[in-house]
Amino acid sequence: MGGIKTEIYKKIGMMEFLPSVDSALFCPTALSQRSDNTVVFPGFCDVHVHFREPGFSYKEKITTGSAAAARGGYTAVCTMPNLNPVPDSVENLRAQLDIIERDAVIDVLPYGAITVGERGEALADLEGMAGDVVAFSDDGRGVQDEAMMREAMLRAKKLGKLIVAHCEDNSLLHGGYIHDGVYAKEHGHRGICSQSEWGPIKRDIELCRETGCGYHVCHISTKESVELIRRAKAEGVDVTCETAPHYLVMDDSDLREDGRFKMNPPLRDKADREALLEGIKDGTIDMISTDHAPHSAEEKAKGLEKSAFGIVGIETAFPVLYTKLVKTGFISMERLMELLVINARKRFNIPFRKNDYTVWDLDAEFTVDPADFLSLGRATPFEGWKLSGVCLLTVKDGKAVYQKG
């Protein structure tokens, strides 16, 4: 379509997936409002979201979560297993798959749990679920037992599946709920130490080296985590990792006495943020996921101590990253596409499709207003931020699944 730029496909080596952008898919409002800096991107891919069904549909539904993802430019997401029932068996997984097949407007690919009920006491039915899940994870809970994780890796390797780890040592938490840093000390909060994250990563890297299993680390937030993964990669260990937008553009100096600043892992120190940014630049960090984790307004209205862990972010991820990392010249748009599209799909074997794409007006500006979200979740630390980049259209399998206006 005239005036819409497609050069990014050539720059990232995806010309074979270049779509024919059909002007008929645009509503008149979107067409009339777009600027001359309107760009087509491949559909983004997020390997870490929480869409809350089955079990917690008052927080989010597959319908609302996938609609919010489409608005954010995503055509594929992977949903974490902390649900009810937990997808730890073929039967329990089917409860989620049925909802996805009925309600999702984009590709929604579920994880299977590593352990039964995510309780860490017995391995789930990995073999039975393998054909219908993208990988295995106990996200929301770290696998505490080393022997249990070793056996999970051995079985996952035989199945050709990744182990995807929420790394958290429960023995080091001590009731903490924000980073154990300056803000916690000055305001009388209980802190979560960095070792609670990097300690399990160190253990799991050795298990990965021993078993040969593909291993992916969720939402890293500490400088030690970056360095451990950097070294492991240099030594040929089959490890990848992700971080989230909020860890790259905020740290614990940005905290407020508000539940919308509470997530797990927490916002860390400035030095941790700087190490994550360096990991983005040098390739240590493979992808950026949102950890989109909606809760009800009541669950997020209890301050830092008592609010539920988790924030929403799938509708703001690209504008935050484009505004703060690309427009500032810190990384190129090509590197951002590696982080949002290419690396996640390659690592998790999620196919590229020619008719999955998203169209953005990069010159359009907006102020983040949670009341405008399609997600049921409203808790975002980016509320009130002025950002660049507005999604005009997202297309899945040749059909418009989101269009502005």
The residues that are catalytic are 291
Query: Measured over all CA atoms, what is the biggest interatomic distance in the chain, rounded to whole angstroms?
Result: 60
Note whether 242 and 215 are within 8 A (CB): no
Contact between 147 and 90 (Cβ < 8 Å) = no
Sign of the alpha-carbon torsion through 328, 330, 336, 339? negative
Strands 215-217 and 38-42: unpaired
Helices 270-282 and 223-234 pack at an angle, to 10 degrees, of 30
- Structure-block tokens of residue 322: 């484009």
Spatial distance between the Cα atoms of 398 and 395, rounded to a whole number of angstroms: 6
Contact 218, 166 (CB under 8 A): yes
Contacts 24+ apart (CB under 8 A), 115-118: 115/88, 115/143, 115/148, 115/152, 116/86, 116/88, 117/86, 117/88, 118/81, 118/82, 118/86, 118/88
Closest C-alpha among 76, 70, 82, 351 to residue 218: 82
